[in-house]
Structure 1
Amino acid sequence: MASIDQAALEAVQDDIKAIAEATEKAELELTLKRNELMLPIYEKRREVIARIPKFWSAVMQNHRGLSELIEEVDLPVLEHLTDLWVKHDTKDARSYEIIFTFKENPYFTNKELIKKITLKDDEPVSETFEINWKEGKDLTAKDPSKKRKKGDNEDDASDSFFVWFKDEDIHLGDFFVQEIFPEALRQVNIYAGVDDDEVDFEEEEDDASVDLEDEEDDEEEEDEDEEEKPSKKKNKK
């Protein structure tokens, strides 16, 4: 049996590790550059979205992964959400803040709820944030630290998206940073099956910005319809 050249194997492994580290560094630098380039575009998008009622609430409810964590009790609160913003660290792409802005509401006094992800020993860490709930409105009142096990009472843990601000979960932030925030418009485009009295932001957006060319096209179509009406009556005879 051939002897194993341990030194040669370790040298190869060192090369693999060096390339992996260099690649990771390059990817982080590329992400920082991308964040810098996208910032003015997101700011422009922000101005448009501000005129669309319940936009971010709809986006969050439509995201497959996040929608499973949003409970019925959360929906009335999310209707007061007016803005969602991801503030990236300009030095390390792994650090960021997710900022939820709310208008005055009957649930809490905070204008902003912030979920911050920082680095500790080169690992991402989720910071907790205190929500100042109004009396009798705390959706996280039940102890979220009690993890459910077989035989545990279902009432021991709180079922609310807002529990996330009290715990140290970092994975939920990935939904917002990688999908919900950058792909918000895509989430809107695939939003379907909603009653008129729920989320009708598309009509609101159409009313907010009227295209003159579209109006002309509509007038032409109406004229064509008027011309076609007599011919249809003749065919019936």
Structure 2
Amino acid sequence: MAEIDQAAIEAVQDQLEVIANETEKVELELANKRYELMLPIFEKRRKVIAEIPNFWPTLFKLNDGTSQMLEEADHPIIDHLTDIWVKHDPKDVRNYEIVFTFSDNEYFTNKELIKKVVLNGDEQTAEKFTINWKEGKDVTKNSKRKKDADESSDSFFSWFADDDANLADYIANQLFTEALHLYMNGGEDGDFELESDDEGSVDLDDDEEDEEDDEPSKKKNKK
């Protein structure tokens, strides 16, 4: 079997880095342009989805990726979810926020729960968001971080208080963008499964290669 010529690679390392940087720049430009073109389509889709009763609660509970994050106590809260919207920075789509809109409910006073993701250097991190729980209704209390298949996972709403960008990435770039397709397909998304690392952080891994990813490559947050 032929061996890689490491010396030859090292000799042109600076040129390879230039090419890599140029590639990343073009990929970002393409992703920004794609968002610009898709935005009016998503806005039109938003109006259609609003006419389907319980669209987002149904999808959230059926979808492979998000259903695994829900505890039993989360389900009646998710029933109040009326809209999910993703706002990207048009100059750099790697910066975005996910807006979850809820109807009036007995659990918290927020009308919107927002998860904002920002690019810090080479990594994306999710900013913490405070949920204003009503007295005695905080389902995140006494919850435990999922570390293995035998332990119960956190409430989905615990995620708003940490900096996990993996789930945000999945919701923004898979659940949201493919919402109608996933809904029509019964929420099934066989490409993704929920895993946890040794430190208990949640990860959503794609079983398939990422070769056809439309977004520029994203650096997962490290804890």
User: Shared fold (TM-score greater than 0.5)?
Assistant: yes
> In the aligned structure 2, how far is the partner of 1:32 from the partner of 1:130?
30
Task: Indicate if the aligned counterparts of 1:140 and 1:158 stay in contact, CA closer than 8 A.
Answer: no
Structure in which a larger fraction of residues adopt helix = 1
Counterpart of 1:42 in structure 2 is 42
Task: Indicate if the aligned counterparts of 2:32 and 2:91 stay in contact, CA closer than 8 A.
Answer: yes
**Percent of residue pairs bearing the same amino acid type:** 55
Tell me, yes or no, if structure 1 residue 99 matches structure 2 residue 94.
no
Counterpart of 2:27 in structure 1 is 27
* TM-score normalised by structure 2 residue count: 0.75
Counterpart of 1:205 in structure 2 is none
Structure 2: runs of 5 or more not aligned: 188-223
Task: Please report how far the alpha carbon of residue 24 of structure 1 lies from its aligned counterpart in structure 2 after TM superposition.
Answer: 1.4
Give every structure 1 segment of 4 or more consecutive aligned residues whose post-TM-superposition deviation is greater than 6 Å.
Answer: none
Counterpart of 1:212 in structure 2 is none
Structure 1: runs of 5 or more not aligned: 193-237
Counterpart of 1:82 in structure 2 is 82
Q: Greater RCO between the two (CA within 8 Å, min separation 6)?
A: 2
Task: Please report how far the alpha carbon of residue 54 of structure 1 lies from its aligned counterpart in structure 2 after TM superposition.
Answer: 1.1
Counterpart of 1:71 in structure 2 is 71
> In the aligned structure 2, how far is the partner of 1:188 from the partner of 1:91?
30
Task: Indicate if the aligned counterparts of 2:110 and 2:131 stay in contact, CA closer than 8 A.
Answer: yes
Larger of the two Rg values belongs to structure: 1
Counterpart of 1:130 in structure 2 is 130
Amino acid at match of 1:123: E
Tell me, yes or no, if structure 1 residue 169 matches structure 2 residue 190.
no
The 1:59/1:128 distance shift into structure 2, 3 A limit, reads same
Task: Please report how far the alpha carbon of residue 143 of structure 1 lies from its aligned counterpart in structure 2 after TM superposition.
Answer: 6.0
Task: Please report how far the alpha carbon of residue 9 of structure 1 lies from its aligned counterpart in structure 2 after TM superposition.
Answer: 3.6
Task: Please report how far the alpha carbon of residue 10 of structure 1 lies from its aligned counterpart in structure 2 after TM superposition.
Answer: 2.4
Task: Please report how far the alpha carbon of residue 35 of structure 1 lies from its aligned counterpart in structure 2 after TM superposition.
Answer: 0.5
Structure in which a larger fraction of residues adopt strand = 2
CA RMSD in angstroms comes to 2.4
SS for the counterpart of 1:97 is strand
The 1:54/1:147 distance shift into structure 2, 3 A limit, reads closer
